[in-house]
Amino acid sequence: MFSVHVRLCCILVVVVCVTRSVGVQLPEQFQKSNHTNNWAVLVDTSRFWFNYRHVANVLSIYRSVKRLGIPDSQIILMISDDMACNPRNPRPATIFNNAHEQINVYGDDVEVDYRGYEVSVENFIRLLTGRVPPETPRSKQLLTDEGSNILIYLTGHGGDGFLKFQDSEEVTSQELADALEQMWQKRRYNEIFFIIDTCQASSMYEKFYSPNILATASSLVGEDSLSHHVDAAIGVYIIDRYTYYVLEFLEKVYPDSQKTMSEFLAVCPKSACLSTVGVRRDLFKRDPSNVPITDFFGSVRPVVITTEPIDILDIPKRKKTEHQNKTKVLEKRVYLPQFPMHLVKSST
C-alpha cells in the first residue's frame, strides 16, 4: 500500500482510450484491452431439483468472478430455481461443487438478481439489450457502456440452435445473435466472452455476427455435455464436467495472475470433458494467447498513478435544498388504535 502526505493527494485513473477501428489490423503492442469496466451475466435456465448441477455450474462461475474482483453490482445472476434452500437439500443454504463438499459455491454472500419465474427469455433479452421496464431496479439492469467487457455464461438444457428456459420456452441462436448485435449497435459492450455449457452448445454461437465476441462452448453440435458425478447425499448429479474443470482452473487464478484466455479455452480436453470444447475466434480481434484472463473474469484495470496535484475546476455542487423545506409545517400526528374499535363499540 502507499500513502503520500500531500495536501492534495489524487489518484487518477487514466484510461487509455484507443479509438476503435474496425477492420484494421492492430500492431502487437496495441493489443491491450481498452475496456474500463467488467460485467458478468450468469444464467442458469433450468428449473427442478434434478437440474441441481446447472445451479452449481452457474454459481461456480459466480464465485470465481466475484473472487477475481467483479463487484456484485456488476454481476447479473439469474437462477431459475432455489436449490440451496430447497426442502430436498439435506445441507440447507449450501451448494457444493463436488460430493466431497470441497467448495461451497453458494457461499454466505450471494446476491441473485433474477430468480425463479423471473428467469425468462423475455427478461434475459431485455436485460442484454437494456430495454427493461421503467421501474426496474439497478441491480436488475445491465448498465454497460462501450468500455465494458462482458462475460456471458449460460447453462441449462439445449439442443441444436436453442436453449430451453425453465422447460417452458426457449431462446434460439438467431435471437441471441440479434440481441448481441443490438447491444453492439447500442454500444453496450467493448468485448464479450461468451461461455455456454449445454448439450450441442456450439450451435448457440454459430449465428453470432457482431464483432469482438469470443465464444466457447462445452460441446460441439451433435455432442452432449455430460455431468461430472453423482452426489449420493442429494441423489442427483452435482455439477457438469466442463464447468467442474473450469472452476478447478479458475480456483488457481488470482487477480494478478498472468494466465491468458488461450489457457482458459484449453481448460477441458476431450479426455476430461468427454465432449469437444468448441471455440469461435473469428469475431474476436485479439489473439486469445495475449489476452489476460482477468480481462473478462476479473476487474483489473490499468492504473496510472500520479503525484502531481490536479485542479479540478468544475466540482459539481450538490443542489442546496431550499430553506423553505426546513421550516417544516408542524403536522399533528397520532397513534391509531390497532383494532377497529369504533366498529366494535358502535355495535355494543
Partner 1 sequence: MALRFISVLSIVFIGVFCDEFIEELFIKPLPPTHLYSYFQFITTSTADELFLHSHLSPRSIGEVISRFQVEELHLTLTEGQWRHDQWGYPVFDAAPGAELYAWFNPRVKNIDKEWRRLSATLSGLFCASLNFIDNFNTITPQMALWPSGSMHSNVNATTFLRYASLPREIVCTENLTPWKKLLPCESVKGFSALLNSRMIHNTNYHSIGIHVRKVCTKDNCTDTYVEIKQTVALVYDYKIINTNNWSFRYLFGQGLPGACPLASSSKIYVDVSSNDTYPFHLSPTPDTIVTSYRGGSDIKLAIYNISMSTEMINIGAKYNSKYQIQLNMPPPLHFSRHILGYGKEFGGIVTEVVNNYWTDIDVVVLENAPWWLPIQLSSLRVNGEAKSKLVIAQYYSPGRSRQKPYHLELLLKLPPRSTTTITIDFEFVFLKWQEYPPDANHGFYIGAAIINANLPTARNYTSQPISGVTYDSIINASQPWYPALFRTNGAMVSLPTPDFSMPYNVICLACTVVALAFGPLHNICTKELVLKPSGTSLSLIQKISKMFNK
Residues 6+ apart with CB under 8 A from 210: 177, 180, 181, 183, 184, 283
Nearest to 202 by CA among 254, 257, 275, 262: 275
Nearest approach, Cβ of 159 to partner 1 (angstroms)?
16
Partnered with residue 239 across adjacent β-strands are 229
The C-alpha cell 426546513 sits at: 326
Neighbours of 322 (CB within 10 A): 7
Query: Helix crossing, 241-250 with 52-67: angle to 10°?
Result: 20
Does residue 314 touch partner 1 according to CB under 8 A?
no
The residue (of 24 and 336) whose beta carbon lies closer to partner 1 is 336
Q: Residue 167 Cβ, how far from partner 1 at the closest point, in Å?
A: 6
Nearer to partner 1, 169 or 287 (CB): 169
Assess 2 for contact with partner 1 (CB under 8 A): no
Of the candidates 157, 228, 268, 273, the residue annotated as catalytic is 157
Q: Which is nearer to partner 1, 255 or 340 (CB)?
A: 340
Minimum distance, C-beta of residue 136 to partner 1, in the bound complex (Å): 7
200: CB partners within 8 A, 6+ apart: 158, 159, 160, 161, 219, 220, 221, 222, 223, 224
Of the two residues 138 and 252, which places its CB atom closer to partner 1 in the complex?
138
Q: Grid coordinates 450451435 are at which residue?
A: 203
Site for partner 1 in 79-118 (CB under 8 A): 80, 82, 84-85, 91-94, 106-113, 115-118
Q: How far is the CB of 85 from partner 1 (least distance, A)?
A: 4
Out of 199, 228, 268, 273, the active site residue is: 199
x-marked contacts with partner 1 along 238-277 as a string, rule CB under 8 A: ----------------------------------------
Torsion sign over Cα 273, 274, 275, 280 = positive
165 and 55 Cβ atoms separated by less than 8 Å = no
Query: Using the 8-state DSSP alphabet, how is residue 196 labeled?
Result: E
Task: Note if 157 is an active site residue.
Answer: yes
Closer residue to partner 1 in complex, CB, 8/344: 344
291 touches 35 (CB < 8 A): no
The C-alpha atoms of residue 99 and residue 309 are separated, in whole angstroms, by: 56
Nearer to partner 1, 113 or 240 (CB): 113
Q: Report the C-alpha gap between 263 and 289 in whole angstroms.
A: 7
Smallest distance from partner 1 to CB 124, Å: 14
Q: Does 130 bind partner 1 (CB under 8 A)?
A: no
In the bound complex, what is the minimum distance in angstroms from residue 306's beta carbon to partner 1?
A: 28
Interface positions with partner 1 (CB under 8 A)? 47-48, 80, 82, 84-85, 91-94, 106-113, 115-118, 133, 135-140, 165-168, 321, 325-326, 328, 330-341, 343-344, 347
Q: Which residues are catalytic?
A: 157, 199
